[in-house]
Chain A
Amino acid sequence: MNKKVKVQVTDLTKRFGDLLVLDKVSFEVYEGEFLCIVGPTGCGKTTFLNSLTHLYEPTSGKILFNGEEVNLEKHNIAYIFQEYSAMEWLTVRQNVRFGLEIKKDYKNIDRKVDEALELVGLTKFAGYYPKQLSASMLQRVVIARAFATHPELLLMDEPYGQLDINLRFKLEDEVVRLCKQTNTTVIFITHNIEEAVYLGDRILVLTNKPTSIKEIIMDELPHPRDIAAPEFVEMRNRITDLIKWW
């Protein structure tokens, strides 16, 4: 099967002074693929994502998006950070509108905002300010803002770390469903191996610093995945063995 390469990373290297964080990382992500990246805590997963998006300038290496240099103003990329990044001075609705306004995407803007709010279950809270919301609601605002823009590439950096388990399952399922439906390419960073096996089409396992790729694992278990199924447990154990740091 000929898959279109959406993101091509070649020899990505990042140094902070003498500290080598990323060491010649190369891989590609295919269109519509859900790629999970797992690695030991503190291995530089976030640095990896920030270098990928030029929020940190990589020391060397090349990153191509649709065969071009990444250009955040041109390419429709959304990033959901580990910490909440809701604008405190905007209501929930205005926060979700924000991304569309930045992209000057005013066509059906209210409908898109309503759909995104509905998706994360925040319709009733549209007029609230972030300071009135709980931690999990704040993260849902950010998820809604990202989805409202219908990104071509969605980067998620441990986005569900602060959410309670029920909501986490619900949003994980919703994200997979939505990404498959809209053919969105996703790079999802997590330290939760079970989450990676549950969500990913492929799982990229990183080594400890300096970070490089230890193994790329195909995850072809059928959706929706059963976390108690023997194949699921087997894959989880295999990855756990790969990233053992103790």
Chain B
Amino acid sequence: MRHNYGKIRVVLYGAGTFLVLLSLWQIAAMTSNSEIGFPTPVAVIGRFFHMLSNKVGSYTIWGHTLWSLSRVVIGYLLACVLGVVLGLTMGWFPYVKALFKPVFDLLRPIAPLAWIPLAILWFGIGEKYKYFLIFIAAFVPFTLNSYAGAVRVDRQLIGAARMLGASHSQVFFRIVVPSAVPSIFSGAQVALSNAWMTMLAAEMVRSSEGIGWLIIAGQGINDMTQMIAGMLAIGIVGFLLANGMRLLERRCLVWNNQGK
């Protein structure tokens, strides 16, 4: 009961801050004499709902969001598979580490956006360069966290498995991989946020659909309301993705949440 009361209070505090900020925005927009005209939150929310059923360019905001999400999903999943495999094997097999770690360490500080010119030259201005950029953005955290998870595996557990007669592959698949899962999930969360941000940049550079395009198109016609409505969509989808990932993590790591 007490616990529920605490939860309600947290939600109320959050909602309160939100309402105060919206009110301040509304007052500021109504009293502003800027020539461009700063849209009120009421106007932005109105436009947002309008775009849910009315097309901007070729799609409604649902369609644009689906385009953006599909790009993120493809780049993200590819990064997940390759990053986890590379990270775990680098963390566990010394020769894989010797082969790939120096190259990875050299490439990982390069921001995903720095790849844009090269990516366009390599893959053209279609979908592939966007997948590539999102892949790069998600690949680094997936690899780093999988690597850390494999390196930090409890030696006692490895000793116990070996003493029970586990082969090298059994130790890897039955001890190292499950031990690294919490770390991989931490990487997945960072990778998701990186992928989502990089997708917007990729769409703003060159695209004819997606939320990034929606914002850039708004700028092209001086429609600040459309731009902010697009930003609102980014926030909502980003929030849902992050919470969805947290939910998935809680479901997959039941054992890690027990006793907390």
Pair from one complex: yes
Tell me what chain B mostly uses at the interface: helix, strand, loop, or mixed. helix
Contact yes or no, A132 B161, CB < 8 A = no
Known: A129-B254, A131-B255. A89 touches B178 (CB 8 A): yes
User: What is the CB-to-nearest-CB distance from A164 to chain B, in angstroms, rounded to a whole number?
Assistant: 20
A7 at the interface (CB under 8 A from B): no
Contact yes or no, B258 A129, CB < 8 A = yes
Tell me what chain A mostly uses at the interface: helix, strand, loop, or mixed. loop
B165 CB contact (under 8 Å) in A88, A91, A102 = A102
Chain A residues lying within 8 Å of B154, measured Cβ to Cβ, are 85
Known: A79-B160, A87-B157, A142-B160. A103 touches B255 (CB 8 A): no
User: What is the CB-to-nearest-CB distance from A20 to chain B, in angstroms, rounded to a whole number?
Assistant: 23
- A202-220, CB under 8 A of B: which get 1 and which 0? 0000000000000000000
Query: Nearest chain-A residue to B159 (Cβ)?
Result: A55
User: What is the CB-to-nearest-CB distance from A169 to chain B, in angstroms, rounded to a whole number?
Assistant: 25
User: What is the CB-to-nearest-CB distance from A41 to chain B, in angstroms, rounded to a whole number?
Assistant: 20
User: What is the CB-to-nearest-CB distance from A83 to chain B, in angstroms, rounded to a whole number?
Assistant: 5
Query: Nearest chain-B residue to A55 (Cβ)?
Result: B159
Query: Nearest chain-A residue to B178 (Cβ)?
Result: A89
Contact yes or no, A81 B258, CB < 8 A = no
Chain A residues lying within 8 Å of B170, measured Cβ to Cβ, are 102
Chain A residues lying within 8 Å of B181, measured Cβ to Cβ, are 89
Chain B residues lying within 8 Å of A85, measured Cβ to Cβ, are 154, 156-157, 159-160
A132 CB contact (under 8 Å) in B166, B175, B258 = B258
A185 at the interface (CB under 8 A from B): no
The CA of A73 and the CA of B164, in the complex, are separated in Å by 8
B118 at the interface (CB under 8 A from A): no
The number of residues on chain B lying at the interface, defined by a beta carbon within 8 Å of a beta carbon of chain A, is 25
Categorize the interface residue count of chain A: 20 to 34
Contact yes or no, B164 A98, CB < 8 A = yes
The CA of A152 and the CA of B161, in the complex, are separated in Å by 16
Query: Nearest chain-B residue to A90 (Cβ)?
Result: B255
Known: A81-B156, A89-B178. A76 touches B163 (CB 8 A): no
The CA of A81 and the CA of B157, in the complex, are separated in Å by 10
A44 at the interface (CB under 8 A from B): no
B positions within 8 Å CB-CB of A: 154, 156-157, 159-167, 170, 174-175, 178-179, 181, 253-256, 258-260
Pairs of residues from A and B, 5 with the lowest C-beta to C-beta distance, nearest first: A79-B163, A85-B160, A131-B259, A129-B255, A131-B258
A-B CB contact pairs (8 Å), 27 listed: A53-B163, A72-B162, A73-B165, A74-B165, A75-B165, A76-B165, A77-B163, A78-B164, A79-B159, A81-B156, A81-B159, A85-B154, A85-B157, A87-B178, A88-B255, A89-B255, A89-B256, A91-B255, A98-B161, A102-B161, A102-B164, A129-B254, A129-B259, A131-B256, A131-B258, A132-B258, A142-B160
